[in-house]
Structure 1
Amino acid sequence: MMDTRAPVEFAHGSFPNTVNLPLMTDDERALVGTCYKQQGQEAAIDLGHSLVHGAVKSERVEAWLDFARRNPDGYLFCFRGGLRSQICQQWMREAGCDYPRIHGGYKAMRRFLIDTLETQGSERRFILLAGHTGAAKTALLARVPNSLDLEGMAHHRGSAFGKRPGGQPAQIGFENSIAAGLLQQAERFPAQATVLEDESRLIGKLALPQNLREAMARAPLVLLQSTLAQRVEHTFENYILAALHERREHYGQEQGFTQFADYLRQSLANIQRRLGGARYQALDAQLMEALVAHERGDPDAHRGWIEALLVDYYDPMYSYQMDKKRDQVVFAGDADAVYQYLTEET
């Protein structure tokens, strides 16, 4: 879909697979809004046309036409499906492209998705996939068709070390993605439960919707079991190798490593109070040694502090949380056994 609202509105939240191609910039929108309040709608429309004309207008119309050519089955919308989207649609039509507009715009779609969250949260069945940190739960979810990757929607790996380049979406956009995902699940798998990872209230800075959290709290649990060696290796591959690759793709080769090192040290510092002073200092020293060796071309030393962090920090926390959920567990096994259970039982 093509969101014709201003960038500041888009940043507050939009919908999956949506591109922001605004009619007006933030500054232009602010000027028109002030004019509307002071002089009325007609004067505001005239000001808008004077701001967006000539080469500026041609450039924006061409961007919309290019989007329509690449997305012939798409739609355009503004906040309420009013003047802005009507103007965009009219200018595209004058350029030879009759592109559909969503009546009611963002506001109507957002209301529909809020209702969807409430309905699906109360009516849909869920199964939660749990397991120790590093057990590769997300990788297993990717193999299960009737599943939703909440961490993928949140653009975060779901732990103290889960931050990813580019930041997270807005809370509203996160909720919209969940609602759209649940709609797809209801359409594709009407009789099957949706499999979710057992998440805490927050994934990074984003909160799971209240009604979904309540449904998840009632859901049965499936435990993914793996050895410590497997968990260390998975954590190494995802939080070291993949994390560095992401940052080098985002920031460039040299700056990427600097960002990667800062991310690891800051993530560890964020849990300093829970670790305790002595344990934090020991882990930070191990991490620094590993980063020095890594920058010289040998990343293997990271496995040492990863194992210590899993055993001394994450595992006790997981055991404490699971002690409160034991009666919800319906199955436990390794990746192959859990995959078979989920594909046969859900």
Structure 2
Amino acid sequence: MTQSIISVEKALNLPNTIFIDVRSESEFLEASIPGSINIPILKNEERSVVGKVYRNESVEKAKSLGLRYASYKLEEIYKRIMELERNYDNIVIYCWRGGMRSKSVCNILNTLSLRNVYRISGGYKAYRKFVFDFLDNEIGKFKFIVLHGLTGVGKTIIINKLQEMQIPVMDLEKYAKNSGSVFGDLLFEGSSPSQKEFESLVFNSLYYNSSNLIIVESESKRIGSMNVPEPVMKAMEDGYHILVETSIENRIENIYNDYIKNDSAINDKLIRCIKHLKKSLGTKTVEMLTEKINSGDYRYVIEFLINNYYDPLYKYSIKKLETLDLTIKYDKIDDAVDSVKNFIKKHF
């Protein structure tokens, strides 16, 4: 049996590890180490009460109250962690600062002789500092290949196919659960992450990347409600730049397959989103497009938006690119994937 304090870096590199966040539910929902599970030692309401006692009365009274709240949960916490121990070689426990909450759980597990239980020194706060320090100081080791192109050219499809081939990618839209437009959230289930969670996913894609190469789709600073970390934006600007082009027919089919093909409830979603374009396109145009959606003429709507909304919006940003390292014009998407692979072989 081993129970000890461990640094963030060592914790992130332990094999077959489960991270257990013992903070309250609301703290966990705001952000956690990716892959963690939440086993709170203090519930939301209990943590609030303990905090008030800490601020208004005394530290000792707050500790005593915290222990009272925690005591009735210890058996259940032990049972849950015992179940996890069957599947994981290492158990890493953390709270906000690596203090009383995580320490008390580790002490109990230590007393009950659970093996390979670790507590993160400095807790989640130390993890956040580690993420920031890595992005600030280590991102220079990576060379980014940035895919540019108009809406529907298949940049995300290319990234997904490259990832299937074990080529390192950073899928910022997937992390943000938003593709960065008025229709941005239609491709993703569930709510968007917090900014902290988004930054952790960006960090993971770099930290666990064994090469110095990473493929990413061109993005603006903001994706939905997420802000891309400044060091990442700078690394993208300094990377290789590939422009992807294809026919309007291919672009329409790519968008149709992504957004519409497998969603039987797509009409209401599209109409909800398209109403946000009244200012850009005018009320009559939005009403016309709504009629087309209701009649199932999706390809008309896609082509109209490409020509009258998206291309005018994004052609300017593409023209601003000072240098392009490669332009890919494809008929079949697999040809574009092969072109990117060949570029990688040439430069790496």
In the aligned structure 1, how far is the partner of 2:113 from the partner of 2:257?
51
Equivalence for 1:142: 160
Partners of 2:149 and 2:318 within 8 A in 1: no
Change over 3 Å in CA distance of 1:336–1:52 after alignment to 2: closer
Equivalence for 1:296: none
Equivalence for 1:328: 323
Unaligned runs of 5+ in 1: 246-256, 291-300
Equivalence for 2:123: 105
Superposition RMSD on alpha carbons, in Å?
2.1
Equivalence for 1:307: 303
TM-score, structure 1 as length reference: 0.84
In the aligned structure 1, how far is the partner of 2:308 from the partner of 2:342?
31
Name the SS for the 2:161 alignment partner. coil
Name the SS for the 1:100 alignment partner. strand
The amino acid across from 1:154 in the alignment is: A
Pick from 168, 171, 178 the counterpart of residue 156 of structure 1.
178
Equivalence for 2:192: 168
Name the SS for the 2:118 alignment partner. coil
In the aligned structure 1, how far is the partner of 2:281 from the partner of 2:339?
32
Equivalence for 1:276: 282
Name the SS for the 2:175 alignment partner. helix
Name the SS for the 1:329 alignment partner. coil
Equivalence for 2:214: 194
Unaligned runs of 5+ in 2: 1-18, 331-335
Cα displacement (A) at 1:210: 1.9
The answer to which structure has the higher strand fraction is 2
Cα displacement (A) at 1:337: 4.3
Partners of 2:33 and 2:200 within 8 A in 1: yes
Compare 304-313 and 91-100 and name the one that shifted more: 91-100
Equivalence for 2:295: 289
Cα displacement (A) at 1:83: 0.8
The amino acid across from 1:225 in the alignment is: E
Equivalence for 1:210: 230
Cα displacement (A) at 1:92: 2.4
Cα displacement (A) at 1:15: 2.1
The alignment status of 1:12 with 2:30, answered yes or no, reads yes
Partners of 1:332 and 1:338 within 8 A in 2: no
Name the SS for the 2:152 alignment partner. coil
In the aligned structure 1, how far is the partner of 2:80 from the partner of 2:62?
24
Partners of 2:161 and 2:337 within 8 A in 1: no
Partners of 2:94 and 2:102 within 8 A in 1: yes
Partners of 1:150 and 1:178 within 8 A in 2: yes
In the aligned structure 1, how far is the partner of 2:337 from the partner of 2:192?
32
Cα deviation per residue 1:118-174 (whole Å; 9 max; x = unaligned)?
Answer: 123445322211122122211211233122111111122333212133111100111
Compare 173-182 and 123-132 and name the one that shifted more: 123-132
Equivalence for 2:239: 219
Change over 3 Å in CA distance of 1:211–1:229 after alignment to 2: same
Equivalence for 2:202: 178
Partners of 2:102 and 2:119 within 8 A in 1: yes
The answer to which structure has the higher helix fraction is 1
Name the SS for the 2:40 alignment partner. coil
Give the 4+ runs in structure 1 shifted more than 4 A. Answer: none
The amino acid across from 2:280 in the alignment is: R
Name the SS for the 2:169 alignment partner. coil
Equivalence for 2:312: 316
Matches within 5 A, 1:240-259: 240-242=260-262, 244=263, 257=265
Equivalence for 1:131: 149
Change over 3 Å in CA distance of 1:201–1:274 after alignment to 2: farther
TM-score, structure 2 as length reference: 0.84
Equivalence for 1:297: none
Cα deviation per residue 1:295-326 (whole Å; 9 max; x = unaligned)?
Answer: xxxxxx3222112212221122221111111x
Partners of 1:2 and 1:19 within 8 A in 2: yes
